[in-house]
Structure 1
Amino acid sequence: MIRLMRLSRHGWWCLLAFGCFVATMAPCEAAAGVHVPVLLRILTPRVGEMIHSNQDRVAVRLLVLPPSAFQKGLQIRMTLDGKIRPHVRTRASFTMTHVYRGKHVLQAALVTKRGRIVTVSPVVVFYLWHASHLFHAAPIH
């Protein structure tokens, strides 16, 4: 008979953290059935970064390892403020449009063509700043 050990509160948090780490290194199923660990991270925008843009655009750059993940049919699906963006991407660098001023939460997911999530990136919180015509400084004479 197998006895289950009782885990302390600290033990449960360690187990949960290990599970989250393993989830970010989930195996990628290739067409040939080979399992390869995939790493997905958001490089830009950085955590806490203030982006100055009046065109409602944000440049996004991702780290996808191995780079051959796109050749295996995987795509990137972005989530902004808890809402899935309409376009899936097949490149690690692109520009997101219709991002308005304020605080935003960004996350990337690597998905198969059928929509199954392979791995997700950690969440990145950034801020978008717009210039305002209401706060022009008085001309200096």
Structure 2
Amino acid sequence: MNYKILLLLIALGLSNYGYAGEKKIYAWKDKNGVLVFSDTPHKGATEVKLTSQSLNMPATNTDVFNEPTQPQQAAFKIAISSPEHNQTIRENTGSVYVTSRITPRFESGFTIQLFIDGKANGPASDSSTFAIRDVERGEHTLQLKLFNSKNQIIAVSQPCIFFMHRKGLNLGN
């Protein structure tokens, strides 16, 4: 019996040898329902008829896959809208309202931090408007920093100088 199986395998091998010059493709679905293509026949497979005899693809330059890619990030800009540069603010309580303008647009996860005279005025916030209280008389400098969702600085405003005028105390007797 083993002799018959061996003879059958040799006959099948020789029959496939005669077809070696012909390129045939077979298709079938595996046990998971996935379509499988092969050049060897399989039980339940059907032969795929090709419309073109040429199966060669031209060589393609794949060097672009080796180059590291950097995601293109929009160039953000932040500016102080108010107060205006060199503006004098007359406010006896020392209150100043700072508004900002961001281009192209403020995105989710971004935060802004206000600096007055080089010191952070509270933590970074998702608001573009700030209220500063009890600012002393004299010249002050404002600046804004824009942070992305990874807490990286992506834009810094130009410094804005303003002058606070407050009513002074009359200490005379």
Sequence identity of aligned pairs in percent? 24
Task: Out of 47-56 and 60-69, give the one that drifted further.
Answer: 60-69
Residue of 46, 53, 56 corresponding to 2:94? 56
Gaps of 5+ in 1: 1-32, 136-141
User: d(CA) in 2 for partners of 1:113 and 1:96?
Assistant: 25
Matched with 1:44 is: 82
How many residues are aligned here? 101
* Higher share of residues assigned helix: 1
Shift of 1:113: 4.9
Residues 88 and 120 (structure 1), Cα distance of their counterparts in 2 relative to 1, 3 Å cut: same
Match in the other structure for 1:86 = 122
Q: Which has the higher strand share?
A: 1
Structure whose CA Rg is larger:
2
Deviation at 1:36? Answer: 1.5
1:90-109 alignment, distance < 5 Å? 90-109=126-145
Q: Tell me which amino acid in the other structure corresponds to 2:153.
A: I
> C-alpha separation between the residues in 2 aligned to 1:39 and 1:49?
22
TM-score by length of 1: 0.64
Q: Distance in 1 between matches of 2:74 and 2:113?
A: 20
CA distance in 2: counterparts of 1:66 and 1:110, whole angstroms: 13
Under a length normalisation based on structure 2, what TM-score does the superposition of the two structures give? 0.53
**Letter of the 1:118 counterpart:** I
Q: CA RMSD in A?
A: 1.9
| 4+ residue segments displaced more than 3 Å | 112-115
Shift of 1:112: 3.2
The worse-fitting range, judged by mean Cα deviation, of 78-87 and 110-119 is: 110-119
CA distance, structure 1, for counterparts of residue 113 and residue 98 of structure 2? 12
* Per-residue deviation, 1:114: 4.8
Q: Gaps (5+ residues) in structure 2?
A: 1-70
Q: Is 1:122 the equivalent of 2:132?
A: no
Following superposition, the deviation at residue 129 of structure 1 comes to 0.6
Give the whole-Å Cα distance in 1 for the aligned partners of 2:131 and 2:93.
Answer: 11
Equivalent in the alignment of 2:13: none
Alignment deviations for residues 30-73 of structure 1 (CA, whole Å, 9 cap, x no partner): xxx6512211010111111000112221011111112332x1x1
SS in 1 for 2:106: helix
CA drift of 1:95 comes to 1.2
